[in-house]
């Protein structure tokens, strides 16, 4: 896994451009499965820090 992709995917999820998980009927791109847990952890850390 590449750390810069975790940060990039986290940003895209945070601003609402991508979804963290597949949503039925959703039209947004979804974070690749092998990055989802790491991105979720990154977003959780960002929420606690701010």
Domain count, the chain: 1
Pull the structure tokens for residue 8: 């990039």
- Count the Cβ atoms, other than its own, within 10 Å of residue 4: 8
Domain residue limits at 45: 3-49
Is residue 36 very low, low, confident or very high in pLDDT (cuts 50, 70, 90)?
A: very high
Is the pLDDT higher at 48 or at 18? 18
Radius of gyration of the chain (CA): 11
Pull the structure tokens for residue 13: 């999820």
Q: pLDDT at position 34, please?
A: 98
Q: Tell me the pTM.
A: 0.88
């Amino acid at each position: 896994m590449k750390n810069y992709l975790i940060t990039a995917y986290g940003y895209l999820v945070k601003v609402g451009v991508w979804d963290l998980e597949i949503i039925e009927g959703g039209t947004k791109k979804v974070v690749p499965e092998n990055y989802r847990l790491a991105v979720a952890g990154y977003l959780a850390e960002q929420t606690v820090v701010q």
